[in-house]
Amino acid sequence: MAPPEPYPPIRAVIFDCDGTLVDSEVSGLDVLHQLAGLHGAAFTREEAHALFRGKRMADCVEAIAQRLPRRPDGFNDRFTTAVRQAMARRFRESLEPMPGALALVERLQIPFCVATNGPREKAELTLGLTGLLPWFEGRLFCAYEVQSFKPAPGLFLHAAQALGVEPAHCAVVEDSLTGLEAGVAAGMQVFSLCPPGSVPAPLAARVRHIGELAVLDRLLHPETAP
């Protein structure tokens, strides 16, 4: 059997934001779950996290609206506004970068950026609160502006083009199935922060599990790895 083809050299890194660089995914999903329950939408916490992780807000809100005993007029818009405001309050109370995030971006010598399904104001808030925003000035790409949401590959392809790097030479770092699917569809090298057992086998075979950002740091900087 012929040996596997080596991976092309990585010449750029595209990060997701929530749950990848900033520890906002769990708290944000908890807010979404709590407000859904207050409106009468029946989801367990585990179900809400599984259903909504990495998804765009409009799809999450529509799924919640469909669980309501009765959908009030204008529910989706009002609920979205309430969730965004509650999330922002929660983030300002306590938000940290993901372990290894600052160390990794400080060491990177190749182009890198953020590509998120969230809106710009949310990404700027969370990156700002965690001290990461200065590293991504001018390199923050949002699905709402590109009009392509993960799992479609358009956001990642837009980011690669902006960085001037071919997709095959881009590393994507993600913590959701939606993001992993988008990176694979874009033809990029995908690094997964998802628990291994949570990724379906066909998808798991096409991504590399790293578990934490420090592992990627060592892969990209073997010459200085401890």
Average of pLDDT values for 153-164? 98
Residue 225 pLDDT greater than 90, yes or no = no
Measure the CA–CA gap between 31 and 156, rounded to whole angstroms: 27
Q: Compute the half-sphere exposure of residue 178: CA atoms within 13 Å on the CB side of its CA.
A: 24
Task: For the chain, list the domains and their CATH numbers.
Answer: 12-23+96-224 (3.40.50.1000), 25-93 (1.10.150)
Q: What is the three-class DSSP state of 10?
A: coil
Q: Mind listing the pLDDT tens digit for each residue in 37-50?
A: 999 998 899 999 99
Q: What is the three-class DSSP state of 208?
A: strand
Any idea what DSSP says for residue 222? G
